[in-house]
Structure 1
């Protein structure tokens, strides 16, 4: 018998596996695909501290930062630790960042600094001087998820003894047992980390959360000019999306300005994020469409709007190399849910796109409570 049986090899499943295995417990992980293919490898790889709302989410992000550093060192994947840049393009966006730095950032201990004037001009030899300010999130980190997640799997398997069962569908969960396409397995604790799949396992308790699915359009591109980007980039549009800023009075004024001038950005949930890969490319997005299912059809116009925003922000042209959809769980009663379903059976679900930012510490706390 194992101590923990974990369903799902995304960031939440792997984080739970790590938290249990580092305590010397026997862990098995089950994943229906041959390699992780869900939200955890389709994302920007941004582990943001600066964007989290004050309170629990901010503290989880700070604690997760330490875990990411440990993983990068021991699993051998690239981790950018020099922070993020949130660029203010307009006077209202600048006002919002100044208000945040003078108020909430001081009150709640956000590790940030506001760059303006000469400090802004010095970034990347003046590449961003056409903006008004930049909020640097000092503790923000970024990985290339396509490489980091498989490396984390190898680390858990080879150094911590976690047993992985890929290409294995879990058909049924009951206290003490999993029934799978590879047979029946017994374990003292079972944790279901099934991402946005709300129907295969534990459908009834998950349905009570009224979960939804969020669908994103995303791109991988190459800059057509000299830019060795080493920071994750955001813009003032992100202030309408992230809890650290979204409830500030200045954010409401900014929303009204965008609604008046560029309503298509709000209608499609577009707020620009750009992440550099270790190979000199850029991951660019994203849009947000919510519903019970994710439509398979991308709108070219949405991609064009994101490309236009990216080129304006970067100050140069880009060449698109790849397009895909990100899909993650949304809705629910809060940013995440930890469900105690039956004796020895629980589920961990994210209802927002910040699993990379808070997932490691969230799992650490959950495993500690379970044992």
Structure 2
């Protein structure tokens, strides 16, 4: 058996890396195991949006705010690019505008969301009038973006170089039990083992995870070039997102928005489409997404779903786009709550997200899990 560690982590996505950081900064000896040569799961297939504004009041909002500070620290120490200028959520209809107004005068005031509502001349000034065809825009000042494909490798490099976290890539963990794991790289011992394997519910702790009745969400995603030089520096959303994000979805004013979608755009509801757009550091845009749930994600994408998303994106951006890449996102979804920390056996746990906001809340969630295992330090 290889030398003993304080913590063994399975999975090098954002949850695995967040747990590694939280433990290593406490001086603990950490090893991380990843089956692929580089992270390839939900954490690199996403938009890179770390949203505070959309999180509902309570634990998720608290975690998002705490995670925002952690991302800021990582940007400084790991050199990853982080846009901290927020997001714009556009109201396209009167119902969406009324929902954003209600949010600003009620929930935003009560729970301290840092937002501004842009209308009229302020909309005309936004990106030189590129978005003046919308009725209003909610500027979420605390929202952030990273380019996940580069941010995760930068974080891995920092953890390895500065915090002495040991990584084993291209290594499949076959089995775990209290105190040790067996892998294709050998057998390793550890005081604690945390499984952070995303939507893989069958390789490790299958019986324990099955009791949570989780599902898998499959998403269609695009990377595109706008046909005008937008120089976009903010994440973009539309009122469609208001019926999906907990900060807005339970407000009375959300009901007319939902009714309007069902009446005028039932295909969007049927396919779980609500537009998100993130700029990359290279002038391109990550665009999506759709949501289809099940026990196994279908490998087959529907061209019509992509076409609907392209149409929405062009309407929102006010310009044509050229698609340069398509892929399938996937994440664990619909468990007993937004996340779980499953204590399967003494010294053996699983950290699971049941929503697609791991980038938004994962860093702080890991801090709490490590503090639970080792005590606040």
Instruction: Tell me the TM-score normalized by structure 2.
Output: 0.98
Correspondent of 2:247 among 238, 244, 249: 244
Structure 2 CA distance, aligned partners of 1:289 and 1:267?
Answer: 9
What secondary structure is seen at the aligned counterpart in 2 of 1:134?
strand
Alignment match, 1:332: 335
Structure 1 CA distance, aligned partners of 2:275 and 2:246?
Answer: 16
What is the CA deviation profile of residues 188-231 of structure 1, one whole-angstrom value per residue up to 9, with x for unaligned ones? Answer: 01000010000000001100000000000000000001200000
Matched, 1:216 2:219: yes
Q: After the TM superposition, which of the residue ranges 114-123 and 205-214 deviates more from structure 2?
A: 114-123
Alignment match, 2:344: 341
Count of aligned pairs between the two proteins: 371
Structure 2 CA distance, aligned partners of 1:236 and 1:254?
Answer: 8
Correspondent of 1:162 among 147, 160, 165: 165
Correspondent of 1:366 among 361, 364, 369: 369
Alignment match, 2:293: 290
Correspondent of 1:125 among 125, 128, 135: 128
What secondary structure is seen at the aligned counterpart in 1 of 2:246?
coil
Alignment match, 2:190: 187
What secondary structure is seen at the aligned counterpart in 2 of 1:308?
helix
Structure 1 CA distance, aligned partners of 2:38 and 2:92?
Answer: 40
Alignment match, 2:354: 351
* Counterpart mapping for 1:254-269 below 5 A: 254-269=257-272
Alignment match, 1:101: 104
Alignment match, 1:40: 43
Matched, 1:171 2:174: yes
Structure 1 CA distance, aligned partners of 2:251 and 2:292?
Answer: 24
| Deviation, structure 1 residue 77 | 1.3
| Deviation, structure 1 residue 316 | 0.4
Alignment match, 1:27: 30
RMSD of the alignment, in Å? 0.5
What secondary structure is seen at the aligned counterpart in 2 of 1:244?
helix
Structure 1 CA distance, aligned partners of 2:254 and 2:305?
Answer: 23
What is the CA deviation profile of residues 78-125 of structure 1, one whole-angstrom value per residue up to 9, with x for unaligned ones? Answer: 100000000000100000000000111111111111111111111000
Matched, 1:67 2:96: no
What is the CA deviation profile of residues 44-65 of structure 1, one whole-angstrom value per residue up to 9, with x for unaligned ones? Answer: 0000000001000000000000
Alignment match, 2:18: 15
Matched, 1:135 2:138: yes
Structure 2 CA distance, aligned partners of 1:121 and 1:23?
Answer: 49
What secondary structure is seen at the aligned counterpart in 2 of 1:79?
coil
| Deviation, structure 1 residue 331 | 1.2
What is the CA deviation profile of residues 307-361 of structure 1, one whole-angstrom value per residue up to 9, with x for unaligned ones? Answer: 0000000000000000000000001110000011111111100000000000000
What secondary structure is seen at the aligned counterpart in 2 of 1:309?
helix
What secondary structure is seen at the aligned counterpart in 2 of 1:296?
coil
- Unaligned runs of at least 5 residues, structure 2: none
What secondary structure is seen at the aligned counterpart in 1 of 2:248?
coil
What secondary structure is seen at the aligned counterpart in 2 of 1:99?
helix
Structure 2 CA distance, aligned partners of 1:246 and 1:180?
Answer: 44
What secondary structure is seen at the aligned counterpart in 2 of 1:294?
coil
What secondary structure is seen at the aligned counterpart in 1 of 2:253?
helix
- Unaligned runs of at least 5 residues, structure 1: none
* Counterpart mapping for 1:191-210 below 5 A: 191-210=194-213
What is the CA deviation profile of residues 238-259 of structure 1, one whole-angstrom value per residue up to 9, with x for unaligned ones? Answer: 0011110111111111111110
Structure 2 CA distance, aligned partners of 1:125 and 1:226?
Answer: 12
Instruction: Tell me the TM-score normalized by structure 1.
Output: 1.00
What is the CA deviation profile of residues 151-184 of structure 1, one whole-angstrom value per residue up to 9, with x for unaligned ones? Answer: 1110100111000000000011100000101100
